[in-house]
Amino acid sequence: MEHQSSTQIPHVLIFPVPLQGHVGPLLDLAELLCLAYFKITFLHTTHNHQWLTKHTDIEARFSRYPGFKYKTVPDGLPDAHPRTDPLRLSELFKGLASSAKPLLRDILVGDKVTCLILDEWLSFAYEIASEVQVPVMAFSTSGACFTWILHCIPKLVEAGDIPFKDEEMDKLVKNAPGMDSFLRYRDLPSFCRKLDTSSCRKLQHRFSGEIQLIKQAHSFILNTFEDLEGPCLSLIREHCSKVYSIGPLHAHLDYKLGTKEKTLSNTNNFLEVDQSCISWLDHKPDKSVVYVSFGSLAILTKDQLTEFWVGLVQSNKYFLWVIRPDLVIKSDLNSPITQDYLLDGTKKRGCIVKWAPQKEVLAHRAVGGFFTHCGWNSILESIVTGVPMLCWPYFTDQLINSRYVSYIWKIGLDMKDTCDRTRVKNMINDLMERKHDKLETSMSIMSHLTNKSISEGGSSYTNLDHLIEEIKAFIKKEPTF
């Protein structure tokens, strides 16, 4: 390193959507690029930075990389705004766009940024980067299957596949290349449901625009790997010039760090982690516990919570359940659930926490199944640890993810659109007993392929090397301001 002058070191600005599922993988990518001796600026909202520093030792994680720094921008929302309310996310995007624009321009120019790794959803930033001639690499925190279906949406609207009627939910989507033999209307992203002609046109317009922006980006980075999503990646490659699949990033980082330093890479939580569940798991037999978590955004009605709870208790399995303080719709919580048999059943076989150390939980020998909302990070974490899934997708990409998990990869079961107690109980029993061995066999093949992809010579490992070289090459072409 000493022989490299600071002008030869690439300076990468990383800008995630300020949500848990986006910040986590982009922090992992930041660290992977720090290991390549890059200078990294991680652009965070002030609000999230406060939460992150409150609950995790994020400073310690990056203190060993002198080239790493955070910068913060306001997200333009009042302090009390419910930033993680899934029904109000558009306000977060609007607020961030209006307050971050001028600051972003200053950082890109003033800090002599070599390239911007941009969360694909922050479309306002493409224009600014292009004005100041900083190349953009778009980053997707979702799977390639979701990216591909987004590419197809304008055509699906044009061909009349969208809008579709409720009674057509189980029919196959005709005009989704590569997916037409198994993708049902039910599996399309949640925003494709219940549309009228005018909202369809808006959807078509919106995604044509988004896709154009991704295509304009210098390259496109995905947190996935070739053995998992090769066919979708090939389809995406027909439209985007350079596509780098470098995931699963958390495992890739662990591999590069080596076993000694693994624990620090887990420090990216917005909520306080309750470690007590690990000692609870320590006292349970191997593969006897269902881990239940619906991620950082999904919300439930009290009725849904009750159905899940009854199903879990009636399954007679041990369960570790993450119930975030904002998991249940507030107005529904005025009358708490007090049925004795639920409380007794939970005391005997359950453990409830507000936020768990998920990767550690999934890697615990006592965990035999993961009841998940099918967020992309959760899927990757489950694959890495070889834990079969029961999917209850909540929104957006989770609906297509669960189809891939159950029908294509056969590493889990899909109970999309239903959550009555009997079905929950039966499907937990399928996950933990009746179908467990079959699911575990496909899962262990996939886990093996994951390890291969992130190890030296594997596809993600090699693609990351190519990405690093690509970024280094920008230095030679940098404009003079």
> Would you tell me which residues interact with ligand UDP (CB under 6 A)?
20-21, 24, 269, 293, 295-297, 322, 355-356, 358-359, 375-378, 381
Nearer to ligand UDP, 108 or 144 (CB): 144
Q: Tell me which residue of 13, 25, 52, 297 sits closest to 142, measured CA to CA.
A: 25
Q: Which residues are catalytic?
A: 22, 119
Least Å distance, CB 12 to ligand UDP, is 22
Q: Residue 405's CB: how many other CB atoms inside 10 A? A: 28
Give the torsion sign (CA, 87, 91, 94, 96). Answer: negative
22 and 12 Cβ atoms separated by less than 8 Å: no
285-289, long-range: CB within 8 Å, 24+ apart, which pairs?
285/366, 286/365, 286/366, 286/368, 287/365, 287/366, 287/367, 287/368, 287/432, 287/436, 288/317, 288/318, 288/366, 288/368, 288/432, 289/317, 289/318, 289/319, 289/320, 289/364, 289/366, 289/367, 289/368, 289/369
Cα 303 to its chain centre, rounded Å, is: 27
Nearer to ligand UDP, 9 or 89 (CB): 89
Least Å distance, CB 294 to ligand UDP, is 8
Nearer to ligand UDP, 24 or 369 (CB): 24
Least Å distance, CB 213 to ligand UDP, is 21
Nearer to ligand UDP, 264 or 322 (CB): 322
How many angstroms separate the first and last alpha carbons of the chain? 26
Q: Residue 207's CB: how many other CB atoms inside 10 A? A: 21
Least Å distance, CB 123 to ligand UDP, is 19
Least Å distance, CB 251 to ligand UDP, is 12
Least Å distance, CB 398 to ligand UDP, is 7
Nearer to ligand UDP, 114 or 378 (CB): 378
- Give the Cα separation of 16 and 14 in Å (integer): 7
Nearer to ligand UDP, 31 or 381 (CB): 381
- Give the Cα separation of 119 and 17 in Å (integer): 6
